[in-house]
Amino acid sequence: MTTSTPSEPQDSPIHQSSSTQARLHQQSSIMLREQPKEVDLLILGAGWTATFLIPLLETEKIPYAATTTTGRDSTIPFKFNPDSGSAEPYKTLPKAKTILITFPLTGKGPSKVLTGLYRSVHGAKNHWIQLGHTGIFNQLPDSYSDDDSPYDKSNERAIAEDELRQLGGTALNLSGLYGGSRVPRSWLPRLGQSKDDVRKRGAVHFIHGEDVARAIVASHRHPTPGKRWILADLRVYDWYDLIMSFSAMAEGEESAQEEETRQQFAKWVGELMLEEDVRALPREMDKLGRKLDSRGFWKEHGIWPRHQRLG
């Protein structure tokens, strides 16, 4: 198919009225507008967490900026290179009171490089928060771990978090994240492929993205330099119990194959209850292995989880 082409494009300045040119100039200015030079909170890596955090920041009227590697959705393009000593990329970032690191840093060095290069441009008066995970608290397999319990100090992410804490930062170690695109009942196939895989599952902990956002804002307003916190919704969940619940919740909502998978998992749990003499769900706490005591953060900051139970 051929189309006729005007001898002069209709968007040429020759054919634009003054009002049209003004509108296009305004649109161009919006697209090319400068990022703020100073904010209260800077998000390094606007991913899943930011989908909950940014709306809260806007509601609370907290000035913020965010980065992505590509600069999508009006964010600042920024990619951290732990092997680079150049401060040039940090000049495009705004000065911030709190800097949130959402991507994992590993091993010794990266935390020092990131904070050092940023502070060389924007000064040292800032607080850093690193999002981590609770998997490092595996040293007390049959008891509760709290914020001050032993943790795996050889873990690469724990090493980076410890380095940041030594520099005055805070580590927020997150339990299982859910909300939005993260739907726990869709995770059953990840638990394993057999009844023996399910048998190994004991306690599990969760926190909703909205409560992660609330915790970040609380940490921004009330910094706790050098501290590591466990973030969970104050509950200990039993995987056996969840499998049964998820299987029932999924009825009529999923494909036939997915439904069959869920019912298979439920069948395995039923068989395990008979084999292990489990009379009712959830199982007794002393049967669940490693458990997390997440009261510390909420008490310190004077707030409590809004999503107090996995839906």
Assess contact for 94 and 37: CB atoms under 8 A: yes
Q: 258 exposed, middle or buried (CB, 10 Å; 0-12, 13-18, 19+)? A: middle
- Residue in the block written with tokens 């990131």: 114
What sign for the dihedral angle of Cα 298, 303, 309, 311? negative
CA distance 198 to 202: 9
218 in a structural domain: yes
Answering whether pTM is above 0.85, one says yes
Helix H, strand E, coil C: the string for 262-273 is HHHHHHHHHHHH
At 100, which CATH number? 3.40.50.720
245 in a structural domain: no
Q: How confident is the model at residue 254 (pLDDT cuts 50, 70, 90)?
A: low
What is the longest distance spanned by two Cα atoms in the chain? 85
In the chain, % of residues over pLDDT 90: 76
CA distance 92 to 98: 16
How many other CB atoms are found less than 10 A from the CB of residue 126? 18
CA separation, residue 184 to residues 4, 178, 187, 239, 283 (Å): 55, 7, 5, 11, 20
Query: What mean pLDDT do residues 139-155 have?
Result: 93
DSSP bridge partners of 176: 206
Query: What mean pLDDT do residues 239-252 have?
Result: 81
Q: Is residue 1 pLDDT above 50, yes or no?
A: no
71 in a structural domain: yes
pLDDT digits (tens, 9 = 90+) for 9-47: 333 333 344 444 444 444 433 333 467 899 999 999 999
DSSP strand E in the chain: where?
A: 38-44, 64-68, 76-77, 95-101, 127-133, 144-145, 170-174, 176-178, 203-204, 206-208, 228-231, 237-238, 291-292
54 in a structural domain: yes
Q: How confident is the model at residue 153 (pLDDT cuts 50, 70, 90)?
A: very high
- Residue in the block written with tokens 């638990």: 191
Assess contact for 262 and 244: CB atoms under 8 A: no
Structural domain boundaries enclosing 132: 36-183+205-236+290-301
Q: What is the pLDDT of residue 15?
A: 36
193 in a structural domain: no
pLDDT digits (tens, 9 = 90+) for 187-235: 888 999 999 999 999 999 999 999 999 999 999 999 999 999 999 999 9
pLDDT digits (tens, 9 = 90+) for 61-108: 999 999 999 999 999 999 999 999 999 999 999 999 999 999 999 999
What integer best gives the mean pLDDT of the chain? 88
At 16 the three-state DSSP class reads: coil
Q: What is the pLDDT of residue 252?
A: 55
Element containing residue 256 per DSSP (H, E): helix 256-275
Domains: count for the chain: 1
241 in a structural domain: no
55 in a structural domain: yes
40 in a structural domain: yes
